[in-house]
């Protein structure tokens, strides 16, 4: 396949200042008339042919300035329309008629139907599946869209911008016209037509403009959109207060659809969402669902400025909108909820998804320099690491200069298709700093490592830190340059407080942040009378790994006393991870695992420390996942040994704290009616964490079965079901609860996704048969991305022992499914296939079997570019 390279970027010879689209919507034969005002960019382009992108298109008619074009004047293939003979005037009008079949579109890109609703997905290159166009993000155009459809089945007609006209037509049809005054790239175009229920509200902006808000959902589900509406209004307010950014149209619509490749899409004035991230009430959604809805509603709304008003020059700049918008939604959630808890959750996600990507065959820079399939670059690196890079800019500059830089960015680049260089320049200008070394975070792949060795001389009061940075090689980048790493730290004294030094030399330290810029820093502090404990990378100030020679008792001290809550969590997690790794080695060698008393004792202390928020305590008690431990081990992974070692630690913690945990569990029972706020959610998460520990012993199903039965909300119900399935898969209580769940929620696909997910995560060799059987369940559909992700995605990403079965059957099944999904939806199949990206770190037998599965996929004929790209890079 073709490789696209950043250095090949060229401005287009043509611009499209105006785009008029007319859709005559029909389930199988939709006609699209596109009337484009085209401008030659400059005289040097005279004579250059106009080449428009297409993808599987069927051209019906073509006119230039109102005249049909002769056969020799153009060349049309499904994937390209080339017009050779163009008028000499600098502006002309092109009218293109295409015909598309929305019902046949299973790839869910371009115009398709989801449960009878016409909808579109154009990012990144879906617009070219609707009409021929300069389908690239630096072509900004003003759109006017006319929609015509059957009124009975599609009473709702939406597009971008503001509504300008609507009316009835003969034959039971009707029309609506939408006008979007803000120039936008084609990837932000959207339409929706269907019969949906709506929740409406209003937002009054900071300059007193009234904005009509609408959230459109499946009829009957309107009450489940109330939380999303509340989150939308809070997002609009927050962006005004924190960034001074106001909404810019008269209406803002959100539509929830049930077939969607990703989470949501920020189309101008018409966000389209996966219904999973809109619909929630206490009976059907968990606290995690509520938090996700809040975050994604905010994310898409925030794109209105970071993405839409300022868009990307090309797809290499994807992190310009995505990393920045993730940073903004993280800050929003931190402000709405608990900052420390939110930060821990972010870092857990980063480590679970981005670190393995950065440390495996699919590693790429936050701003890649080449791609074969752009859909495969909507990654944790572009999104999550991209957000971390923005966070580091704020850490380095300080909050005030960061805000000044953002203000300048909006002022200077509003209406632009911008680059990462443009973004960095504003921060350099407002701060006077040179960010050229820092810019490597955008250009260089891989997770840097910082090693720290400390020596303390009590007699002289000197503390010396020997700090060294290194970056492991990544595909195509064997030699790495030195990074600018902002390392927040504290020297924790014996009383748990941060010590103050007299002088320091060897590195710049500003506001508790040590700037690592050289390969080695020999940093000498004076005035440190007692040996401090090192609290490093506080708040995860840089997305790095740390190598520190640290005594377990120092870690335990930090876990108890560090004034920085994030670092306390980090210290405890490190202790837990080391204990599981040690135990897994013992178990592999046929020895007995020992866990010591420190961790169980610490868990007891933290669980009952009511100075700490409950949500924080729950996170502290959560052991590193099996995948986290596997990543720490890095090579020759045996998932069975890790599971056994982790379970051993769960049991040791439970045995040491049984009575305490039981009393606390009872005390935390909800006495008030359900509310989804952070404090109540935190209480439930701690209680459900305790339930897991309390249910870890043989036969200990009683509490979970009772909680399942009595649950007044989905958080408690699904947590109890999960504990039963994970800890006691064969128990009668488990079977009864699973059957009950299916009876209660069998008709609700989104809730049944939880049922699929919980079963797909159940550990052990038997999981494969369960998952295989569930693929034949009437509620499962290989054509629906949410179903596939719930069952197959969970199995491959969250079931280490089931998926990585020693006999390789898990991989064989997985490859079969990936190939089946690919027939319909290459994008979803390619993303699914990344489940095998860490195959090289497995023990040799599993490694060989995983490779066989990958090779089988790679050797399949007519593989889509999406899947081919992923498997070939994974195998390289
Ligand atoms: N910007 C949106 C990305 C997206 C997408 C990309 C490719 C294919 C389908 C897609 N749906 C949404 C989502 C976001 O980051 O806000
Ligand atoms: Zn986004």
Measured by CA distance, the residue closest to atom 3 of ligand 1 is 265
Q: Where residue 251 falls among pLDDT bands split at 50, 70, 90?
A: very high
Model confidence pLDDT, tens digit, residues 698-732: 999 999 999 999 999 999 999 999 999 999 999 99
Closest ligand 1 atom to residue 266 Cα is 16
Q: Where residue 771 falls among pLDDT bands split at 50, 70, 90?
A: very high
| DSSP reduced 3-state for 732 | helix
Residue recorded with tokens 């690919």: 822
Measured by CA distance, the residue closest to atom 5 of ligand 1 is 123
786 lines ligand 1 (CB under 6 A): no
Measured by CA distance, the residue closest to atom 14 of ligand 1 is 265
Measured by CA distance, the residue closest to atom 13 of ligand 1 is 265
190 lines ligand 1 (CB under 6 A): no
Structure tokens at 13: 């010879």
Pocket test for ligand 1, best of 111, 122, 128, 264 (most atoms within 8 A of CB): 264
Closest ligand 1 atom to residue 260 Cα is 11
Pairing verdict, β 251-257 and 210-217: parallel
Nearest alpha carbon to residue 833 among 859, 808, 814, 849: 814
- For residues 622-647, give the mean pLDDT: 98
| DSSP reduced 3-state for 610 | coil
Ligand 2 mean position, distance from CA 123 (Å) = 11
Closest ligand 1 atom to residue 303 Cα is 16
Per-residue DSSP letter, 471:
-
Angle separating helix axes 565-588 and 552-561, nearest 10 degrees: 140
Mark out the alpha helices in 625-778 (DSSP H runs): 626-633, 639-667, 678-694, 702-710, 714-727, 732-745, 749-760, 767-774
324 lines ligand 1 (CB under 6 A): no
The answer to whether residue 797 scores a pLDDT higher than 90 is yes
Nearest alpha carbon to residue 332 among 611, 678, 618: 678
pLDDT of residue 468: 98
Angle separating helix axes 714-727 and 749-760, nearest 10 degrees: 30
pLDDT of residue 1: 81
Model confidence pLDDT, tens digit, residues 89-147: 999 999 999 999 999 999 999 999 999 999 999 999 999 999 999 999 999 999 999 99
Ligand 2 mean position, distance from CA 260 (Å) = 15
Residue-range domains of the chain with CATH = 4-285 (2.60.40.1730), 311-443 (1.10.390.10), 452-541 (2.60.40.1840), 544-694 (1.25.50.10), 746-876 (1.25.50.10)
713 lines ligand 1 (CB under 6 A): no
- For residues 10-34, give the mean pLDDT: 98
pLDDT of residue 99: 98
The answer to whether residue 82 scores a pLDDT higher than 90 is yes
Query: What's the CA gap between 525 and 505, in Å, rounded?
Result: 7
Cβ atoms within 10 Å of 334's Cβ, excluding its own:
16
Structure tokens at 124: 């990144």
Ligand 1 mean position, distance from CA 318 (Å) = 11
Ligand 2 mean position, distance from CA 509 (Å) = 34
306 lines ligand 1 (CB under 6 A): no
701 lines ligand 1 (CB under 6 A): no
Pocket test for ligand 1, best of 107, 111, 123, 277 (most atoms within 8 A of CB): 123
384 lines ligand 1 (CB under 6 A): no
pLDDT of residue 336: 97
Q: What is the reported pTM? A: 0.99
121 lines ligand 1 (CB under 6 A): yes
Report whether 14 contacts 41 (CB < 8 A): yes
Pocket test for ligand 1, best of 111, 137, 186, 265 (most atoms within 8 A of CB): 265
Mark out the alpha helices in 183-285 (DSSP H runs): 226-243
Ligand 1 mean position, distance from CA 375 (Å) = 9
The answer to whether residue 389 scores a pLDDT higher than 90 is yes
pLDDT of residue 395: 98
Closest ligand 1 atom to residue 326 Cα is 15
Structure tokens at 674: 């359900």
| DSSP reduced 3-state for 830 | helix
Query: What's the CA gap between 158 and 794, in Å, rounded?
Result: 35
390 lines ligand 1 (CB under 6 A): no
Sign of torsion over alpha carbons 134, 135, 140, 144: positive
| DSSP reduced 3-state for 456 | strand
Query: What's the CA gap between 548 and 530, in Å, rounded?
Result: 19
What pairs with residue 418 in β-bridges?
312
Ligand 2 mean position, distance from CA 162 (Å) = 23
The answer to whether residue 85 scores a pLDDT higher than 90 is no
Model confidence pLDDT, tens digit, residues 564-589: 999 999 999 999 999 999 999 999 99
Report whether 389 contacts 366 (CB < 8 A): yes
Report whether 405 contacts 339 (CB < 8 A): no
272 lines ligand 1 (CB under 6 A): no
Report whether 629 contacts 579 (CB < 8 A): no
For residue 262, the ligand closest to its alpha carbon is 1
Positions marked active-site: 300
Measured by CA distance, the residue closest to atom 4 of ligand 1 is 265
Measured by CA distance, the residue closest to atom 10 of ligand 1 is 262
Model confidence pLDDT, tens digit, residues 835-849: 999 999 999 999 999
Model confidence pLDDT, tens digit, residues 823-837: 999 999 999 999 999
Count CA within 13 A, CB hemisphere, residue 70.
Answer: 5
Ligand 2 mean position, distance from CA 725 (Å) = 34
Q: What is the DSSP string of 189-214?
A: --EEEE--EEEEEEEE-TT--EEEEE
Closest ligand 1 atom to residue 262 Cα is 11
Closest ligand 1 atom to residue 374 Cα is 7
405-423 core/surface letters (b: 16 or more CB in 10 A; e: else): bbeebbeebeebbbbbebb
| DSSP reduced 3-state for 534 | strand
321 lines ligand 1 (CB under 6 A): no
For residue 107, the ligand closest to its alpha carbon is 1
Cβ atoms within 10 Å of 495's Cβ, excluding its own:
8
The answer to whether residue 34 scores a pLDDT higher than 90 is yes
φ and ψ of 488, to 5 deg: -75, 140
Measured by CA distance, the residue closest to atom 6 of ligand 1 is 123
What mean pLDDT value characterizes the chain? 98
Q: What is the DSSP string of 268-327?
A: TTEEEEEGGGT---TTT--HHHHHHHHHHHHHHHHTTTBTTTBEESSGGGHHHHHHHHHH
Closest ligand 1 atom to residue 300 Cα is 16
125 lines ligand 1 (CB under 6 A): no
Closest ligand 1 atom to residue 378 Cα is 6
The answer to whether residue 865 scores a pLDDT higher than 90 is yes
Model confidence pLDDT, tens digit, residues 151-196: 999 999 999 999 999 999 999 999 999 999 999 999 999 999 999 9
pLDDT of residue 47: 83
Burial of 143 (0-12, 13-18, 19+ CB in 10 A): buried
Structure tokens at 22: 């007319």
Residue recorded with tokens 């506001």: 511
Pocket test for ligand 1, best of 378, 383, 785 (most atoms within 8 A of CB): 378
Angle at alpha carbon of residue 59, lines to 54 and 64, rounded to 5°: 95
For residue 315, the ligand closest to its alpha carbon is 1
Per-residue DSSP letter, 637:
B
Whether ipTM tops 0.95, in short, is: yes
Measured by CA distance, the residue closest to atom 8 of ligand 1 is 123
Per-residue DSSP letter, 498:
B
pLDDT over 70, % of the chain? 100
304 lines ligand 1 (CB under 6 A): no
| DSSP reduced 3-state for 371 | strand
For residue 120, the ligand closest to its alpha carbon is 1
pLDDT of residue 44: 80
Peptide bond into 124 cis (omega under 30): yes
The answer to whether residue 671 scores a pLDDT higher than 90 is no
Ligand 2 mean position, distance from CA 766 (Å) = 38
Q: Where residue 43 falls among pLDDT bands split at 50, 70, 90?
A: confident
Pocket test for ligand 1, best of 109, 254, 262, 789 (most atoms within 8 A of CB): 262
Measured by CA distance, the residue closest to atom 12 of ligand 1 is 265
Ligand 2 mean position, distance from CA 325 (Å) = 6
516 lines ligand 1 (CB under 6 A): no
311 lines ligand 1 (CB under 6 A): no
Model confidence pLDDT, tens digit, residues 446-488: 999 999 999 999 999 999 999 999 999 999 999 999 999 999 9
Structure tokens at 640: 């069975």
- For residues 212-232, give the mean pLDDT: 98
Nearest alpha carbon to residue 40 among 82, 86, 81: 86
Measured by CA distance, the residue closest to atom 15 of ligand 1 is 322
């Amino acid at each position: 396949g073709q490789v696209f390279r950043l250095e090949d970027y060229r401005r287009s010879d043509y611009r499209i200042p105006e785009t008029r689209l007319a859709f005559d919507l029909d389930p199988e034969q939709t006609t699209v008339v596109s009337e484009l005002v085209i401008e030659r960019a400059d005289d040097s382009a005279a004579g250059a042919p106009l080449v428009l992108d297409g993808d599987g298109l069927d051209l019906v008619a073509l006119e230039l300035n109102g005249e049909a074009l002769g056969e020799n004047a153009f060349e049309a293939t499904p994937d390209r329309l080339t017009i050779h003979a163009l008028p000499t005037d600098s502006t002309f009008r092109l009218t293109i008629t295409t015909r598309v079949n929305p019902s046949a579109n299973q790839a869910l890109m371009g115009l398709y139907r989801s449960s009878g609703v016409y909808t579109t997905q154009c990012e990144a290159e879906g617009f070219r599946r609707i009409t021929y166009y300069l389908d690239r993000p630096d072509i900004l155009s003003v759109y006017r869209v006319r929609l015509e459809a059957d009124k009975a089945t599609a009473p709702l007609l939406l597009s971008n911008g503001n509504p300008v006209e609507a009316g009835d037509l003969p034959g039971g049809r009707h029309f609506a016209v939408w006008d979007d005054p803000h120039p936008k790239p084609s990837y932000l175009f959207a339409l929706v037509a269907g019969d949906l229920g709506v929740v409406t509200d209003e937002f009054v902006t900071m300059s007193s403009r009234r904005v009509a808000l609408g959230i459109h959902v499946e009829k009957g589900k309107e009450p489940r959109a109330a939380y999303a509406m509340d989150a939308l209004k809070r997002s609009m307010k927050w962006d005004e207060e924190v960034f001074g950014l106001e909404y810019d149209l008269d209406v803002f619509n959100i539509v929830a659809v049930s077939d969607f490749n990703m989470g949501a899409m920020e189309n101008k004035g018409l966000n389209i969402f996966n219904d999973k991230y809109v619909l929630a009430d206490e009976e059907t959604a968990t606290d995690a669902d509520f938090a996700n809805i809040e975050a994604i509603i905010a994310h898409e709304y925030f794109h209105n400025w970071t993405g839409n008003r300022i868009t990307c020059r090309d797809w290499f700049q994807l992190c310009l909108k995505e990393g920045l918008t993730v940073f903004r939604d993280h800050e929003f959630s931190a402000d709405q909820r608990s900052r420390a808890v939110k930060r821990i959750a972010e870092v857990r996600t980063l480590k679970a998804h981005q670190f393995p990507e950065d440390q495996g065959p699919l590693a790429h820079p936050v701003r890649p320099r080449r791609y074969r399939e752009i859909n495969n670059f909507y990654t944790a690196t572009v999104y999550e690491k991209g957000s971390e890079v923005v966070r580091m800019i704020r850490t380095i500059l300080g909050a005030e200069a960061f805000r000044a830089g953002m203000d300048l960015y909006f002022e200077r680049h509003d209406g632009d298709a911008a680059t990462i260089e443009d973004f960095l320049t504003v921060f350099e200008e407002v701060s006077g700093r040179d960010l050229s070394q820092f810019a490597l975070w955008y250009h260089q792949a891989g997770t840097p490592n910082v090693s720290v060795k400390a020596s303390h001389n009590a007699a002289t009061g000197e503390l010396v830190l020997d700090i060294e940075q290194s970056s492991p090689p990544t595909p195509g980048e064997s030699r790495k340059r030195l990074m600018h790493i902002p390392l927040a730290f504290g020297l924790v004294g014996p009383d748990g407080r941060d010590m103050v030094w007299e002088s320091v030399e060897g590195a710049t330290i500003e506001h508790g942040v040590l700037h690592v810029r050289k390969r080695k820093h020999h940093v000498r502090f004076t005035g440190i009378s007692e040996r401090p404990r090192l609290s490093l990378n506080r708040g995860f100030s840089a997305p790095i790994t740390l190598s520190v020679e640290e005594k377990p008792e120092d870690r335990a001290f930090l876990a108890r006393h560090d004034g920085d809550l994030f670092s306390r969590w980090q210290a405890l997690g490190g202790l837990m991870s080391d204990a599981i790794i040690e135990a897994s080695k013992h178990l592999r060698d046929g020895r007995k695992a020992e866990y010591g008393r420190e961790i169980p004792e610490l868990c007891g202390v933290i669980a009952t420390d009511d100075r700490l928020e409950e949500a924080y305590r729950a996170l502290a008690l959560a052991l590193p996942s099996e995948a986290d431990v596997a990543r720490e081990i890095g090579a020759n992974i045996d998932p069975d040994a890790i599971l056994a070692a982790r379970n051993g630690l769960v049991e040791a913690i439970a045995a040491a704290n049984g009575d305490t945990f039981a009393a606390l569990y009872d005390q935390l029972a909800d006495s008030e009616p359900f509310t989804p706020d952070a404090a109540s959610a935190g209480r439930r998460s701690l209680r459900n964490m305790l339930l897991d520990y309390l249910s870890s012993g043989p036969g200990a199903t009683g509490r979970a079965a009772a909680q399942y039965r009595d649950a007044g909300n989905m958080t408690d119900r699904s947590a109890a079901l999960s504990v039963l399935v994970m800890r006691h898969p064969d128990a009668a209580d488990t079977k009864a609860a699973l059957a009950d769940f299916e009876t209660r929620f069998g008709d609700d696909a989104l809730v049944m996704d939880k049922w699929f997910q919980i079963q797909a995560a159940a550990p052990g060799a038997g999981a494969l048969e369960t998952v295989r059987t569930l693929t034949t369940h009437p509620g499962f559909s290989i054509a629906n991305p949410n179903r596939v992700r719930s069952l197959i995605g969970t199995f491959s990403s969250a079931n280490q022992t089931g998926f990585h079965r020693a006999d390789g059957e898990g991989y064989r099944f997985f490859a079969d499914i990936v190939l089946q999904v690919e027939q319909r939806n290459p994008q979803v199949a390619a993303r699914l296939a990344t489940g095998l990206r860490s195959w090289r770190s497995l023990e040799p037998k599993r490694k060989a079997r995983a490779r066989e599965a990958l090779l089988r996929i790679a050797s399949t004929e007519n593989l889509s570019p999406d899947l081919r790209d992923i498997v070939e890079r994974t195998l390289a």
